[in-house]
Amino acid sequence: MTDQYAVIGNPIGHTKSPLIHGLFAEATQQAMSYVAIEGPLDPDVGFERVVRQFAAGGGKGMNVTAPFKLKAFALADERSERAILAGAVNALKFESGRIIAENFDGIGLLRDIEVNLGVPLAGIRVLMLGAGGAARGALLPFLAAGPAELVIANRDVSKGEALVAQAGSRRAGLRACGYGDLAAMGRFDLVVNATSASLTGELPPVPPSVFSPDGTAYELAYGKRLTPFLRLARNAGAHGVADGVGMLVEQAAEAFVWWRGMRPQTGAVIDRLTVPLD
């Protein structure tokens, strides 16, 4: 029997997940199907009902995208530490009537940066722009990689400070600040835009002085070519600029490993989905 998987979101027409997992399944010779499901926004229909129906019909797992990551968190019977810190999940697994939840966004981001881009975080200065769900998902994997310093900059400083406090004993070198504080903080080896600004063509209020000539600027949005953030970084002399297509593929690979017990190769899939920045 072919195992069934899906991604659920709304809207969902833009998703690359069926293509990515289809390529993974083909490369690893896995008997599985993967479809996109447009989840209901109507609370009377219910996100929970759709998920439970998919599981009851033989579904083995689901990816979860906007706007259902918080609902999926609430629905789960069991959550990973990464999911708990993020307060959101992007992958579900159905086992013995239980719903198990994970968040692979952060570990997928870290793998793209360290493995694909060749930028180890150990001992470097890292700046994360934003303190929302994307930053929360990245926090534990980033801290585990051992940066010398990890600064979270956010318009609402208290939100960043709450995230720092939630990290608890793992917060050595971790601090929060406002965007206005960045001009006095010097250059960072890695600057990650985890805000939603680029989705609307806007630019976070970050000074050019944060970018190092030998450093890297990473944009979580993908397929939008040279966003205002990446353009600012390039004009400021940053050595490397990258968008989030690699993160997209790597987080999918993490879910694939979780579901199927084997890691697919990601390089060819990333190359297939990459849109030139220029």
Tell me the CATH number at 212: 3.40.50.720
User: Does the pLDDT at position 1 exceed 80?
Assistant: no
State the average pLDDT over residues 54-80: 95
Strand, helix or coil for residue 140: helix
261 among annotated binding-site residues: no
17 among annotated binding-site residues: yes
Is 69 an annotated catalytic residue?
Answer: yes
Q: Cα-atom radius of gyration of the chain, to the nearest Å?
A: 19
For the segment 112-131, what is each residue's pLDDT rounded down to a tens digit? 999 999 999 999 999 999 99
**Residue 67: cis peptide before it, omega within 30 degrees of 0:** yes
Query: What pLDDT does residue 170 have?
Result: 64
Share of the chain above pLDDT 90, in %: 82
Residues β-bridged to residue 246 = none
Reported as a pLDDT band with limits 50, 70 and 90, residue 184 is very high
User: Does the pLDDT at position 86 exceed 80?
Assistant: yes
154 among annotated binding-site residues: no
Provide, for the chain, the percentages of residues in helix, strand and coil under a 3-state DSSP scheme, each rounded to the nearest 5: 40, 25, 35
Query: What pLDDT does residue 225 have?
Result: 87
User: Does the pLDDT at position 169 exceed 70?
Assistant: no
146 among annotated binding-site residues: no
> Based on the domain organization, do 223 and 124 belong to the same domain?
yes
> Based on the domain organization, do 64 and 93 belong to the same domain?
yes
Question: Is there a domain that residue 156 lies in?
Answer: yes
> Based on the domain organization, do 146 and 90 belong to the same domain?
no
For the segment 11-38, what is each residue's pLDDT rounded down to a tens digit? 999 899 999 999 999 999 999 999 999 9
Pairing of strands 32-38, 98-102: unpaired
Query: What pLDDT does residue 141 have?
Result: 92
Question: Is there a domain that residue 278 lies in?
Answer: no
> Based on the domain organization, do 76 and 18 belong to the same domain?
yes
Kindly report the CATH number assigned to the domain that includes residue 81.
3.40.50.10860
Query: What pLDDT does residue 166 have?
Result: 84
243 among annotated binding-site residues: no
> Based on the domain organization, do 181 and 91 belong to the same domain?
no
User: Does the pLDDT at position 198 exceed 90?
Assistant: no
> Based on the domain organization, do 257 and 144 belong to the same domain?
no
223 among annotated binding-site residues: no
Return the structure tokens found at 41: 């926004």
Residue from 69, 71, 159, 224 carrying the catalytic annotation:
69
Q: Which structural domain, as residue segments, surrounds residue 89?
A: 3-103+246-273
Burial (0-12, 13-18, 19+ Cβ within 10 Å), 156: exposed
220 among annotated binding-site residues: yes
DSSP letter (8 states) at residue 117: S
State the average pLDDT over residues 170-195: 93
Strand, helix or coil for residue 191: strand
Question: Is there a domain that residue 90 lies in?
Answer: yes
Q: How many domains does the chain have?
A: 2
Query: What pLDDT does residue 174 have?
Result: 94
Question: Is there a domain that residue 224 lies in?
Answer: yes
User: Does the pLDDT at position 181 exceed 80?
Assistant: yes
For the segment 229-264, what is each residue's pLDDT rounded down to a tens digit? 999 999 999 999 999 999 999 999 999 999 999 999
> Based on the domain organization, do 233 and 263 belong to the same domain?
no
> Based on the domain organization, do 268 and 208 belong to the same domain?
no
> Based on the domain organization, do 19 and 52 belong to the same domain?
yes
State the average pLDDT over residues 177-204: 92
15 among annotated binding-site residues: yes
Q: What is the mean pLDDT of the chain?
A: 94
> Based on the domain organization, do 176 and 208 belong to the same domain?
yes
Question: Is there a domain that residue 17 lies in?
Answer: yes
53 among annotated binding-site residues: no
User: Does the pLDDT at position 87 exceed 70?
Assistant: yes
Share of the chain above pLDDT 70, in %: 99
> Based on the domain organization, do 124 and 204 belong to the same domain?
yes
User: Does the pLDDT at position 61 exceed 70?
Assistant: yes
Long-range contacts of 37-46 (CB under 8 A, 24+ apart): 37/6, 37/7, 37/8, 37/12, 37/62, 38/8, 38/9, 38/10, 38/11, 38/12, 38/13, 39/8, 39/9, 39/10, 39/12, 39/68, 40/10, 41/10, 41/67
Question: Is there a domain that residue 149 lies in?
Answer: yes
**Residue 11: cis peptide before it, omega within 30 degrees of 0:** yes
> Based on the domain organization, do 91 and 19 belong to the same domain?
yes
